Amino acid sequence: MAPENVAIAFENVSKAYEAGARPALDGVSLTVAQGEFLAVVGASGSGKTTLLRLVNRLTDPTSGTVRVSGTNVRTTDAVSLRRQIGYVFQGIGLFPHMTVAENIAVTPKLLGADRRQMAARVDELLDLARLDRTAYRDRFPRELSGGERQRVGVARAIAAKPQIVLMDEPFGALDPLTRDALGQDYRSLHDALGLTTVMVTHDIVEALLLADRIAIMQQGRVLEHGTPHALMQSRQAGVRDLMQTPRRQAQRLGAMLAGGSAA
């Protein structure tokens, strides 16, 4: 992959939180292309969230280099870097004392947008997030459903027009119907806005449905990465078993709906 087409690069990156303990990341090398949607999948403790947090310097590597658009993030001011990268996570983190409009406008305001620009951007993003402007602008987070709060979280993450969006289990706390709808809506936004997205998820079905490429992590290392189709053909037993899980579930569900045994 040509360097100019690489949005994020992990170069032999390791991260140890405690001396002598097993590292959270162990020699990870991985690139994310501009415009790509990468899902990072793995069990709890496999290093998924640590990998994500290195991109916007919520933590720094013990060794190795993380680059964003070719620049070593360690040479970049952390606050400036974070203002250029959207971040969506399960807890959402909306400011409870601010209205929906005020929450969405936080980063544009910090970047110097005037009141007219912020109002126009809020309206644009409410439309993109499929939230009626009149009904939602002046509501507070406590007045929203979980799905509505997460839509506001996505709108806030892209308010400053970032090229990169990081997502940490963004839809995990939502009911299945809302989760599916919001995931598909975000994928549409990703394509329409030309974003580069890295999403951490426990859900292999979600990864298969949304991502261009999947990286499977195990004990701090990238076990394998590739397109969903390529991973389905993997010769690694652990990868193959993980990728076959949705098929086995579909077969059991099909048998159950047909009146047979789901065992």
Structure confidence by residue, pLDDT tens digits, 38-71: 999 998 899 999 999 999 999 999 999 999 999 9
Count Cβ atoms within 10 A of the Cβ of residue 257 and give its class: 0-12 exposed, 13-18 middle, 19 or more buried: exposed
Report the share of the chain in percent with pLDDT over 70.
96
Q: Give pLDDT, residue 89.
A: 84
Task: Please report which confidence band the pLDDT of residue 117 belongs to, taking 50, 70 and 90 as the band edges.
Answer: very high
3-class DSSP state of 194: coil
Q: Which residues is 25 bridged to in the sheet?
A: 15
Q: How far apart are CA 91 and CA 130, in angstroms?
A: 20
- On whether the pTM is more than 0.85, the answer is yes
The answer, yes or no, to whether residue 28 has pLDDT greater than 90, is yes
Mean pLDDT along residues 142-148: 93
Assign domain 1-84+164-175+189-234 to its CATH superfamily.
P-loop containing nucleotide triphosphate hydrolases (3.40.50.300)
pLDDT tens by residue, 161-213: 999 999 999 888 788 888 899 999 999 999 999 999 999 998 899 999 999 99
Q: How far apart are CA 31 and CA 110, in angstroms?
A: 30
Would you state the structure tokens that stand for residue 179, as one six-digit string? 């989760």
Q: Give pLDDT, residue 136.
A: 96
- Which of 118, 97, 99 minimizes the C-alpha distance to 109? 118
